[in-house]
Structure 1
Amino acid sequence: MDAAALKESWAYVAKNGDDVPLFFYSHLFLSHPDVRSMFPISMSGQRDKLVAALGAVVSNVDRFDTVAPLLGQLGNDHRRFRATPDQYNAVGASLLATLQHFLGEQWTDELAADWAAAYGVIAKTMVQGAEEAAKTAPSWWDADVVSVERRTLDVAVIQIRPQQPLPYEPGQSVAVEAPQRERLWRYYSPANAPREDGTLDLHVQIVDGGQVSSAMVKELTVGDTVRMSAPIGTALTMDDPSRDLLLIAGGTGLAPFKAVVEQVDRLWRATGKGPKVHLFHGARMPWNLYDDEAMRAYAELPWFSYDTVVSDDASYRGLRGNVAEVAAAQGGWAGYRVMVCGSGAMVEGSLTDLVAAGFSPDDIRYEDFGTSGSPPSADTGRTE
Structure 2
Amino acid sequence: MRFRINRPTSSFTPPHQEWSLPEPAAPAPAVETVEPQAVEAPLSPHEIALIRASVSVVEPLAAEMTVYFYAILFARYPEVRPMFPPGMDAQRGRLLRSLLRIVDLVDDPQSLVRFCGHLGRDHRKFGTLSAHFPAVGECLLASLARYAGPAWTADIAAAWTKAYGAVAQVMISAAEEDEALRPAVWPCTVVHRVSRGHGIAEITVSPHLPYEYAAGQYVSLEAPWWPKQWRYYSPANAPREDGTLTFHVRAVPGGTVSTALVHQAAVGSVVRLGPPMGDMVLDAASYNDLLFVAGGTGLAPIRALVEEVARRGERHQVDLFLGARTGDELYGVDDMLRMSQRHHWLTIRGAVSHEYIPGLRGSLPDVLAEFGPWHHHDVYLSGPTQMVVSATETLARGGTPPDRIHHDPFETPVLSLP
Same fold (TM over 0.5): yes
Equivalent residue number for residue 306 of structure 1:
348
Identity of aligned residues (%): 38
Query: In 1, distance between residues paired with 2:337 and 2:348?
Result: 7
Equivalent residue number for residue 68 of structure 1:
113
Picking from 267, 280, 301, the partner of 1:235 is 280
Equivalent residue number for residue 257 of structure 2:
212
Alignment of 1:354-369 (within 5 A): 354-368=395-409
- The answer on whether the counterparts of 1:236 and 1:367 sit within 8 Å (CA) in structure 2 is no
| Aligned AA (2:331) | Y
Picking from 364, 367, 376, the partner of 1:326 is 367
- The answer on whether the counterparts of 2:285 and 2:378 sit within 8 Å (CA) in structure 1 is no
Cα 1:169–1:105, aligned 2, differ >3 Å: closer, same or farther? same
The answer to whether 1:285 aligns with 2:326 is yes
Equivalent residue number for residue 271 of structure 2:
226
Find the residue that maps to 2:282 and give its secondary structure: coil
- The answer on whether the counterparts of 1:267 and 1:274 sit within 8 Å (CA) in structure 2 is no
Cα 1:241–1:149, aligned 2, differ >3 Å: closer, same or farther? farther
| Aligned AA (1:207) | V
Picking from 170, 181, 188, the partner of 1:136 is 181
Alpha-carbon distance, 1:359 to partner: 3.4
The C-alpha deviation readout for 1:103-130, integer Å capped at 9, x for no partner, is: 2233222322222121111111111111
- The answer on whether the counterparts of 2:368 and 2:394 sit within 8 Å (CA) in structure 1 is no
The C-alpha deviation readout for 1:248-280, integer Å capped at 9, x for no partner, is: 100010001111111111222xxxx41111111
Query: In 1, distance between residues paired with 2:234 and 2:358?
Result: 30
Gaps of 5+ in 2: 1-42
* Larger deviation, residues 213-222 vs 112-121: 112-121
Alpha-carbon distance, 1:89 to partner: 1.4
Equivalent residue number for residue 40 of structure 2:
none
- TM-score normalised by the chain length of structure 2: 0.85
Equivalent residue number for residue 346 of structure 1:
387
Alignment of 1:193-208 (within 5 A): 193-208=238-253
Query: In 2, distance between residues paired with 1:297 and 1:319?
Result: 22
The answer to whether 1:112 aligns with 2:157 is yes
Find the residue that maps to 1:92 and give its secondary structure: helix
Query: In 1, distance between residues paired with 2:133 and 2:359?
Result: 54
Query: In 2, distance between residues paired with 1:95 and 1:78?
Result: 18
The C-alpha deviation readout for 1:43-70, integer Å capped at 9, x for no partner, is: 2221233212221222332332220111
The answer to whether 1:9 aligns with 2:54 is yes
Gaps of 5+ in 1: none
- TM-score normalised by the chain length of structure 1: 0.92
Larger RCO of the pair (alpha carbons < 8 Å, separation 6+) = 2
* Larger deviation, residues 351-360 vs 32-41: 351-360
- The answer on whether the counterparts of 1:248 and 1:324 sit within 8 Å (CA) in structure 2 is no
Alignment of 1:144-223 (within 5 A): 144-223=189-268
| Aligned AA (2:79) | D
| Aligned AA (1:345) | Q
Find the residue that maps to 1:151 and give its secondary structure: strand
The answer to whether 1:103 aligns with 2:148 is yes
Tell me how many residue pairs correspond in the alignment. 372
